Chain A
Amino acid sequence: MSVIYVLLTISIIVAIIFFIAFIIAIKKGQFDDSYTPSVRMLFEDELIKEKPKKTLLTKKD
């Protein structure tokens, strides 16, 4: 019977954890710029370029 109390406590704790995560995310400014991160995440692979000329040639084809 009292298992519902346990369940409720757990579900509310989970909800509050997510809620705190949301507050922290705002505080860190994650909601300030909604565009740049979407572009930035695509860059990671191209950071190091050994032979730049090669890529330039492939681009032209």
Chain B
Amino acid sequence: MDKQTCFHCGLDASTSHIVYDEKSFCCHGCKTVYQIFSENDLTCYYDLQSAPGATPKEIEGKYNFLENTKIIEQLLEFNDGATQIVTLYIPHIHCSSCIWILENLNKLHPSISTSTVTFGKKTVRVSFNAEMLSLKNLVVLLSSIGYEPFISLDDYSVGKKHIDRSLIYKLGIAGFAFGNVMFLSFPEYFEVGEFWLEQFKPMFRWLMFAFSLPVVFYSGNDYFVSAYKGLRSKILNIDVPIALGVSVLFIRSTFDIIFNLGSGFFDSLTGLIFFLLLGKFFQQKTYTFLSFERDYKSYFPIGITKITPEGKEESIQVYDIEKGDRLLIRNEELIPVDCILIKGNARIDYSFVTGESEPISKQSGDKLYAGGKQLNGIIEVDVLKSVEQSYLTQLWSNDVFKKDKELSFTNITNQISKRFTISILIIAVFATSYWLTRDSSKALNVFTSVLIIACPCALALSAPFTFGNMLRILGKKKCYLKNASVIEQLAKINTIIFDKTGTITANKETAIEYEGITLSKEEEALLKSTLRGSNHPLSRSLYELLNEHDILTLDTYHEYLGKGIEAQHKKDHIKVGSAPFVGYTSETVTLNTAVHISSNNTYKGKFTFYNAYRKGLSQLFNSLKQDYDLVILSGDNEGEKDNLTKLLPTKTKLLFNQKPEDKLEYIKYHQSEGANVLMIGDGLNDAGALAQSHVGIAISENVNVFSPACDAILDASKFNQLHHYIKASKMAINIIKWSFLLSFIYNCIGLYFAITGQLAPVVAAILMPLSSISIVAFTTLATNMVGRKLE
């Protein structure tokens, strides 16, 4: 038996000594989950994937809000009193074991009838009998086996989401018609001229006509709508020549078969629309488990505990919080509104909201802002403002969150299509007037042929396929882009702005340095034992840093809130904490967080906490500095300024103490001066800046948890690869330009046939798919080559 790792979650289990059923576990939580599974004959869970589980977290009281019927009503998808159906988002879903266990929930509780996992979205849809199992108990059950659902304000009143499947319908219909039309036009291609076939030609042609009707009027209607919209706002977008080509193809073909002039171009027509829709489908790759539209709602809890004037605890909906209410905030819970601390030890982590790296202690009577996370036991607060009026949430009333970045941007295809459309129309007119003087019977034929062959199928396909493939390649490298236009925008960037906390520094890690008289072995052992009892985040990090020592039993131990700890072991006495607390008076003003130590009333020294920067930060900045202006906008104080100036290229601008609005304004100002800004941030405080910038990238240690609204999510481990990703997006633009050239050559060949008046349906039927397929092949190969260079 492997003793090193936990059988359930795979973490190190060498020091825990928890053995059950011949298997070692890292903690009792994991052991309990194993017990639950083995009692219910569900240990197959561990066969599918080794160590697939997660340690269940402490959730006492956390889901009390699920007792509130109003909240339950909003979360349920279906409810007839007895049977209830709910869809829960579970971030931990990651392997086939997860699917298996979650689809066998009915083995764990008899009142669960079915449960279905949607892996891509990381959701499980559970139908259960509400008379025997409440929603709260279901959530508790899931949490107890390590699959804690994530319920946020975003889920509130979502109800039934409408899924847009129209593209699949359209693609299916176009493909269906295309295939059938191709078969029906085979006899025409070979011009067999047999008597038997000649007789049925009209019927075959009318059948083709019938098949092309739904393709033109249903599958292709998006192109007509978009072309009309473009023309109305005086833009010649790519859909204008497409719509023109499609209508000319359809009208000319119908005309041809009515007057028995030929077989028409129904095969090219249906093929064209099929390929175009295929390109659209390919580009539509979205990361269903990621959300790029999140605002504070997906971060905020849905319910909170209110203390009624009679002193009773009651769960209420966050939107129902009123000014003057008394709220109870538990450990690890989020403060949803601006409020005043009344009771308890508040230690608030604002890193997500303001970018400050260390948790802040608050005394009763202090003001607490919404968005902070309580880290230290239970507190009671009085509400000052409702959710919408709180400091943090007001940021979302800024106009930047209302505009759509994609619309305000002309993409590369539309830039080209403007010139393309105009030149095609000029060629068509010239060719027609030429034929009018030579042979007027052919003039109309030539005019329509030019428009048919010039229909920019290959042109319209190159961008979707290049970007679609690039999105996929970058997605594999853990850089998830929202849509294709992000690649185009990214290629144009000239200024890069970074947030500090959580973006260029790692969230969890801090670097600790000791200054002063070296501690003796005994002193270190005493220090470690003292820190062991403290839950203060600084104590925890310091505890982790110190070497292993025997744990001493302390004779006395006192923790003074906001000051420090005092402990006694036999004759040795130690004080750990702030400078005044340990009796160190000659403290010079320093902005870095430090913990001072004194032993037996003599000052020893201090541990200073520095931010730990991400790996490869220096190299990244040095490689970026040649092409880009670099700026750091930090919400934190200037404590790290010296460190940063040493690390980063000298021309990097450093700005500290930036409020969320300041960041937004800074970007706006530089944009007005013509800069194309890439903002890289991680927290809610960057949300405004991310929305304002041309491209906003959110850095995330775990892409499944919250990240603010942005254009792209980058996994923190790939942070140092950023420059390569920007280069790759530039390459993608070059590839598109090359494929434009290629499709231009095809168009010239086609135009030769069209202008000389010899465009036979069979030529069009060969040229169109050939150009489309070769463009698709070229862009796919080229982007894959670029992708191979990425690490």
Docked complex: B505-520 residues within 8 A CB-CB of A: none
Quick check: A55 and B176 within 8 Å, CB to CB?
no
* A-contacting 9-mer, from B40-48, B257-265, B339-347, B473-481: B40-48
- Given contacts A36-B117, A43-B100, whether A56 and B47 have CB atoms under 8 Å apart is yes
In the complex, B168 has a CB within 8 A of chain A:
yes
In the complex, B222 has a CB within 8 A of chain A:
no
Docked complex: A40-54 residues within 8 A CB-CB of B: 40, 42-43, 46-50, 52-53
CA distance A50 to B41 in the complex (A): 7
In the complex, A33 has a CB within 8 A of chain B:
yes
Q: Is the interface of A mostly helix, strand, loop or mixed?
A: helix
In the complex, B73 has a CB within 8 A of chain A:
no
In the complex, B780 has a CB within 8 A of chain A:
no
What 0/1 readout, one digit per residue, does chain B (118-162) give for beta carbons within 8 Å of chain A? 111100000000000000000000000000000000000000000
CA distance A52 to B46 in the complex (A): 10
Among A36, A49, A53, A55, the residue within 8 A (CB) of B118 is A36
Least distance between B209 CB and chain A CB atoms (Å): 14
Quick check: B47 and A26 within 8 Å, CB to CB?
no
Among B44, B96, B103, B121, the residue within 8 A (CB) of A55 is B44
| Most chain B CB neighbours (cut-off 10 Å) among A15, A36, A47, A60 | A36
In the complex, B190 has a CB within 8 A of chain A:
no
In the complex, B165 has a CB within 8 A of chain A:
yes
Q: How many residues of A contact B (CB 8 A)?
A: 30
Q: Which residue of A lies closest to B184 (CB)?
A: A8
Q: How many residues of B contact A (CB 8 A)?
A: 33
Among B99, B103, B163, B173, the residue within 8 A (CB) of A32 is B163
Quick check: A52 and B169 within 8 Å, CB to CB?
no
Instruction: Spell out A's residues near B (CB within 8 Å).
Output: 4, 8, 12, 15, 19, 22-23, 26, 29, 31-36, 39-40, 42-43, 46-50, 52-53, 55-56, 59-60
Known: A15-B180, A39-B96, A52-B41. 17 other contacts (CB 8 A): A15-B176, A19-B172, A22-B172, A23-B172, A26-B169, A33-B119, A35-B120, A36-B116, A40-B99, A46-B48, A48-B41, A49-B41, A52-B42, A55-B43, A59-B46, A59-B47, A60-B1
21 pairs, CB–CB < 8 Å, chain A vs chain B? A12-B207, A22-B172, A26-B165, A26-B172, A29-B163, A33-B118, A33-B119, A33-B121, A34-B120, A36-B120, A40-B99, A43-B99, A46-B48, A49-B41, A49-B43, A52-B41, A53-B43, A56-B46, A56-B47, A59-B46, A59-B47
Instruction: Spell out B's residues near A (CB within 8 Å).
Output: 1, 21, 38, 41-44, 46-48, 50, 96, 99-100, 103-104, 116-121, 163, 165, 168-169, 172-173, 176, 180, 200, 203, 207
